Structure 1
Amino acid sequence: MPTAQSTIDVNVPLSTAYNQWTQLETFPHFMSGVESVTQLEDSRTHWVTNIGGVQREFDAHITDQVPDQHMEWHSVGELDQGGRVSFESLDPQTTRVSLTVDWDPQGFAEKAGAAVGVDDALVRGDLERFKSFIEERGVEDGAWRGEIRDAGTSTTGDEPIDPQI
């Protein structure tokens, strides 16, 4: 399974970068090929993508999320895709964002693109657009500060995690 990864430093505080990333429905503003993301539940999303003329719809589960640290996800169903984004404070106004995406390319064009590193360039471009998006705003559009472990959620950290979600 190919892995695409990239890292970028954004000139906003850690909580601002993390909070914006939790607003998944804004992804079409900076992620190439993402047409829409709908938050169905705290740990479940529905995606519509169009990459290289191939449109896909799929659900994904957020499997691990810790505020100001990281978020991990994995698709549900036929499409085998997952990833992790992590956040590291470099100083009070600078945050390092690292994104890794694993996926199983379908068809010749996707496999060829993965083989020559097109995926890394796409992930890098997405992070560069995220940097521009959040730096131009200077503040996040919203925030979800809950924690998810093994696809269960706890919004305060004091509540039991429901593994049925």
Structure 2
Amino acid sequence: MADQVTKSIIVKGSVDELYDIWSDFTTFPQYMSNIESVTPRSDGLSHWVMKGPLGANFEWDAKTTLMEENSRIAWRSVDGSMKTSGQVSFKALPHDQTQVTVTLQYVPPRGTAGEIAAALFARPEQRLSEDLRNFKAFVEQTTRAA
């Protein structure tokens, strides 16, 4: 059975700016503390590496299942050590602000790998909130510098 977490944050910036930044998955390690790398592949998938405790990494490939320009991006894992899916949506607000809402579903692997994954996903609401705060800081710093 999958666990699910949903969190939102309000970010200074237009929907199109935030959508463009989020849709570049290679920037995720700059604001997602447990993501080591995201590498686009020629077949349209992306390869993800997540940092784990004691030097253990989890790797999987993900397929982007939906890209509604300036509105929503969805994805799901296709193989690897982590079964995960999710979506992010962008809602324009007054005063050049955008509400960013992320929903993640994940099924950690079983056995020893599952125990390590459970440690990674301890307090998932807190981790997602931290990642969204980091995204907000990244976006607001990036768009100010431009």
- TM class by shorter chain equals 0.7 to 0.9
CA RMSD of aligned residues (A): 2.2
Q: Counterpart in 2 of 1:147?
A: none
Q: Counterpart in 1 of 2:135?
A: 130
Q: Counterpart in 2 of 1:88?
A: 91
Matched, 1:8 2:9: yes
The TM-score normalised by the length of structure 1 is: 0.76
Matched, 1:104 2:107: yes
Q: Counterpart in 2 of 1:144?
A: none
Query: Gaps spanning 5+ residues in structure 1: where?
Result: 142-165
| SS of match in other structure, 1:108 | helix
Question: What is the CA deviation profile of residues 33-75 of structure 1, one whole-angstrom value per residue up to 9, with x for unaligned ones?
Answer: 1111111148411111113343012110001111110000000
Question: What is the CA deviation profile of residues 74-104 of structure 1, one whole-angstrom value per residue up to 9, with x for unaligned ones?
Answer: 0012421010000000125100000011001
Distance 1:91 1:8 in 2: 14
Counterpart residue identity of residue 71, structure 2 = Q
Which structure features the higher share of helix residues? Answer: 2
Distance 2:123 2:89 in 1: 22
Q: Counterpart in 1 of 2:76?
A: 74
Equivalent pair of 1:16/1:139 in contact (CA under 8 Å): no
Distance 1:72 1:46 in 2: 15
Distance 1:140 1:41 in 2: 31
Equivalent pair of 2:38/2:47 in contact (CA under 8 Å): yes
Distance 2:41 2:29 in 1: 17
Distance 1:70 1:22 in 2: 10
1:112: how far off?
A: 6.9
Query: Gaps spanning 5+ residues in structure 2: where?
Result: none
Identical residues among aligned pairs (%): 29
Counterpart residue identity of residue 124, structure 1 = S
Q: Counterpart in 2 of 1:36?
A: 37
Matched, 1:120 2:125: yes
**Matched pairs, number:** 139
Counterpart residue identity of residue 128, structure 2 = V
Distance 1:32 1:138 in 2: 21
